[in-house]
Structure 1
Amino acid sequence: MAGVSADPVDASVTSREAAWDLYEMIQACLQAPSYHLLFEAVLIVWIIQLLFVKSYKAKATLTEKEKEELIEDWRPEPLVPEVDPEHPVLQDMENRLIDGKIGRHVNINGKTYLNVASMNFLGMSGRVDIEASISTEYSQAEVAIDTVKKYGVGSCGPRGFYGTVDVHLELEDKLAEFMGVEEVIMYSYGLATISSAIPAYSKRGDIIFCDEGVNFSIQKGLVASRSKIYFFKHNDLEDLEGLLKAQEREDKQNPKKAKVTRRFLVVEGLYMKYGDFCPLPKLVELKWKYKVRIFLDETLSFGTLGATGRGITEHYGISIDNIDLMAASLEHAFGSYGGFCCGRSYVVDHQRLSGLGYCFSASTPPMLTTAAIKALSILQENPELLTKLHDNIRYIYEKLSKINGLRVMGETVSPMLFLQLAGPSDNRELDKAILRKIVQKAEEQGVVLILAAYLEEEEHTLPPPSIRISVSAELTHNDIDRVVSVIDDCYQNTVS
C-alpha cells in the first residue's frame, strides 16, 4: 500500500521530550519566588476578566425628583472673583460713555476733556491734522475704510491656515525694511507678542535672567516657558552680573549639562511700570561676555525713541544685530492693533510653528493692518512728529518736577511718566486714595488723568502708587501748562 505508518521509535522520543519539558516547567515554578507566582496569577485572572466581563455597567436612570435635587444643590463656580460693588475703580467707571475719536481731546458724556491718559504718543489714533498735512491721497481712517470694502472686517483664521492676507505680508516687509532686519513676524494681539515669543525658544531646563520690573506680558511668557528664572533688581547691573557669574561657576562644575542649556536675558527697552530705560550698552557687553541671548521688549519704545522711532537701539546708537529677538507693539505709537517680532530669518521663522499667539490666534483684521502701514508711512514722512514729542516730554517733565509734594518718575525723553507722592506713607491703599482724589478733581476741571493700575496679586513686583501721564505729540505747551496747573491745584486741595 502507498500509505506511510508512524515510526513508534520517533513517537516514543517525542513523548519523552514533552514529559521532560513539563517536568522542567514544574521545577521552574517550584523554584520561582512566591511573589512572582502570585503576580502572574493576578495577571492571568485580570486577562480573563477583560475577555469575558463587560467594560461598562448600565447606569440606572435618575428619577425626576433626583434630577431636581441635583440641580437645586449645584452651585457653579464664578468665572471671575467677586468684586466689591463699592470698589473705587468701579465707582470711577460708572456712567461713563466715550463718544467719538480719542486724541488730544476726548468726549465723555458729552463733555470735552484734555487727554493725557491715552497712550497715543504720536497722535495717530483719531488725528486728522497730521493726515491732512501729508501729500497723499488717503488718510489713515480712509485707508482702513477702503480696506473693509475690499477684504471685509477680518480674515477669521490663524496666519498659518487661511488667515494670511497680502496686506499682512506687505506690513511685515515694510517693518523689516524700516527696522533694518532680515524678517518680521506679526501677531494679532500686542500682549501676546512677547508672551508667545519667550516660550517659543526657552523651554524647561533653560535659564532666563530677567529684570524684576518687567511688564505683565513678559511675566506670563516666563511662566509659559517653564524655564528656570533668575530675577535681578530693576536696572541693577551688579546684581545681574552676580547672577551671571554664579551661573558661570555652576556651568564649569557640570560642563555636560551646560552644553545643552540655553541662557536668555529678558528686558524692556522702556519699562512700562517705571518709565525708565534699560542700560542697553552695558547689557550688550554682558551678553557677549557671558554668552546669553538678549530678548528685548520695545512695546513702548518702538515709534517713540530714536531720531526715526526705531526704538531703544537707535536711541543708544547700538546695532540691532546685537539683539537676538526684539518684540514691539503697534497699539501705542501707531494707533493700530497687534505686535511684531523681528530679527534674523532663522529666529523669526521658528515662531511660525511654535509661537502660540501666531499659530492659534486669528490674524489681525486687514483694515488694522493697512492702518499700521499708513502710520508707518506717516512716521517716515514726518520725522518732526518725534521732535515734537520729545520736546513735549522735556517740557512737561520740567514743569511736573516743580510741583511741591509730588515726584515725577521716568526719563526726560520717555513718553510715559509717573507722578508719585514725594512723601509716601506705609499704607499703600491710603496713598492710592490720595492720588485717586487728584484724578477725580482733575477730571472736574476738564483734564483726564489715570491712576496706574496693576493685577496686584499676580505681579512679581509692585511699583509705588502713581498717576500715569501719557505725553502726545499733539499737545501744545499751553495744553501742558494747563495740565500741570490742574494737577498742582488738585494736589494742594487734596492734602490741605
Structure 2
Amino acid sequence: MNFLGMLGKKTIEDAAVKAIKKYGVGSCGPRGFYGTVDIHLELEDRLAKYMKTEEAILYAYGFSTIASAIPAYSKRGDVIFCDAGVCFSIQMGVLASRSNVKFFKHNDMEDLERLLMEQAEEDKRNPKKAKVTRRFLVIEGLYINYGDIAPLKKMIELKYKYKVRIFLDETISFGVLGAHGKGITEYFDIPIEEVDMISSSMENSLASIGGFCCGTTFVIDHQRLAGLGYCFSASLPPLLASAAIESLNLMEANPEMFAELIRKCHIVHDLLLSLPHLQVVGVPESPVKHIRLIESKSTKEDQIALESIVSQALDKNVAITCARYLPEEKFCPPPSIRITVSTEISDEDYKVAIDVIKEAANTVLTEVS
C-alpha cells in the first residue's frame, strides 16, 4: 500500500544506507534495555511534532502497535465499545485485553449509543463497580475492510456524554487524509487533543516498518512499561527509523502530495463506478477500494466469481487481488476485490487497468448469470 510513492525513493534509500554504516543493521534488544539509540528518540520527537501531540512512542512492528496499546490500558473488568468493522490487529488487541467487549454495527452511531445507554443503566444499578470500570471506544480512522471514514465528530459528542476514552487507529488514514496527511482529526478539523490516543502503522505511507502511538505524555508514557510489543520486542532497526524520518521530511516539504493522492482516489473511484455487475464500496477519498458483486449469491460463489475476474485481468497484465481474511477474524466483510491507489501510477494506467477489469467482469459475470 504505497499510497505516497515513497518506496524506492533515492533519498530514503540513501538515508537507510547511511544509518547502516553508522548503527549497523539492528539494535539487538528491546527499547527499555539496550535497544534505544538516538535515531529512535529523534523519530519519536519528529512524529509528536508532526501530529502536534506531546509525545509519541515507536513500535518495531505495525501489527503489534495497536494490538499492544489496547491491552496496555484496558484490563479485565473494563468495557470496550468496538466497531464491528475493525481490522484484525485491533481485534487481537481487544481480545488480549480480556475486557468486556461490546461490538456495535459498523459506523452505526445509533447502535453505538444504544450500547452506551445500556452500559450507563448498568452503571446506575452498580455504582460501586462503575467507579472502577474504565470505558474505551476503539475505532479506525479509515477502515481498511470497508474504505469508509469513521464519523469522528459524533463519536466525540458521545465520548463526553457517556464518559468514554477514544482510541483511534490511523493506519490507513495517516499520510492520506487532511491537508498535511495527519489523518481524520485534520480532515474533520477537530483538535487532536479530543482523541485520547492515536496509533498508526508506518508501513503504508512512510515506506518503512513499525508503527507509533501519539497523545499526551501522561497517556503515552504508560506504554513504556505496559505495551508488550514495546517492552519485549527488539526495537526498530535504526535504518528503518532513518527511512521513516526521511519520509516525514518529504511529506513536510511537499504537502501537495496529499491533494494529488486524493485527486487520484476520486479518479479511480469514478472509473470503478462504471464496472458492470459490480459496486465500489467506500468513500471517494479512500485509497483502499473494495469492489463487490451487486447481486450477491453466496460467499463461496461470490469468491469464485471474483477470483475468476482477478485471473482474467492477470492474463491481460493487470495484477489485482481479492481481499483475504483469516478464519479467526470476526465479522468478515463480504468477498471483494481490493484495489489500492498510489500517486506513482498515472491516470492513464489506471484507465487502462480498469478497462481490463471491466472486460473481465463482463465476461465472467455474464457467463455466471
What TM-score range do you get, normalising by the shorter chain?
over 0.9
Q: Could you tell me which of 343, 347, 363 is aligned with 2:219?
A: 347
Partner of 1:198: 70
Structure 1 SS opposite 2:139: strand
Cross-structure match for 2:319: 448
**d(CA) in 2 for partners of 1:220, 1:421:** 29
1:487 aligned onto 2:357: yes
Per-residue CA deviation, residues 7-31 of structure 1 (Å, 9 max, x unaligned), is: xxxxxxxxxxxxxxxxxxxxxxxxx
Q: Distance in 1 between matches of 2:291 and 2:50?
A: 34
Aligned to 1:208: 80
Task: Report if aligned partners of 1:251, 1:257 keep a CA contact under 8 Å in 2.
Answer: yes
SS in 2 for 1:266: strand
Aligned to 2:334: 464
Residue type at the aligned position of 1:367: L
Report the Cα offset of residue 127 of structure 1. Answer: 3.9
Distance 2:318 2:207 in 1: 21
> What does 1:11-22 align with in structure 2 at a 5 Å threshold?
none
Cα separation, 2, equivalents of 1:396 and 1:315: 20
Pairing of 1:327-366 with structure 2 (within 5 A)? 327-366=199-238
Q: Which one of the candidate residues 203, 212, 225 is aligned to 2:97?
A: 225
The TM-score with structure 1 as length reference comes to 0.73
> Which letter does structure 2 place at the counterpart of 1:472?
S
Asked whether the 8 Å contact 2:276–2:361 carries over to 1, the reply is no
Note the C-alpha offset of 1:395: 0.5
Structure 2 unaligned segments of length 5 or more: list them: none
Inter-partner Cα distance in structure 2 for 1:388 and 1:442? 27
Residue pair 1:275, 1:418 contacting (<8 A) in 2 also: yes
Q: Distance in 1 between matches of 2:30 and 2:294?
A: 48
Tell me which residue corresponds to 1:436. 307
Structure-2 residue corresponding to 1:234? 106
Partner of 2:275: 403
Q: Secondary structure at the match of 2:305?
A: helix
CA distance in 2: counterparts of 1:274 and 1:126, whole angstroms: 28
| Percent identity of paired positions between Structure 1 and Structure 2 | 55
CA-atom RMSD in angstroms: 0.8
Confirm or deny that 1:420 pairs with 2:277. no
Quote the residue 2:245 is aligned against: 373
Aligned: 1:315 with 2:194: no
Aligned residue pairs total 366
Aligned equivalent of 2:14, options 142, 165, 174: 142
C-alpha distance in structure 1 between counterparts of 2:318 and 2:240, whole Å:
29
1:283 pairs with 2:283: no
- Matched residue, 2:8: 126
CA contact under 8 A between 1:406 and 1:420: conserved in structure 2?
A: yes
The answer for the alignment partner of 2:123 in structure 1 is: 251
Q: Note if contact 1:187-1:340 (Cα within 8 Å) is conserved in structure 2.
A: yes
Q: Distance in 1 between matches of 2:132 and 2:92?
A: 24
Residue 183 of structure 1 corresponds to which residue in structure 2? 55
Shift of 1:357: 0.2
> What is the rounded CA distance, in whole Å, between the counterparts of 1:186 and 1:231 in structure 2?
28
Matches within 5 A, 1:33-72: none
- Consecutive unaligned residues of structure 1, counting only runs of 5 or more, are 1-118, 129-138
- Give the partner amino acid of 1:459: E
Which 4+ stretches in 1 moved above 2 angstroms?
Answer: none
State the one-letter code of the partner of 1:434. A
| Alpha-carbon distance between aligned partners in 2 of 1:367 and 1:192, rounded to the nearest angstrom | 19
> TM-score, normalised on structure 2?
0.98
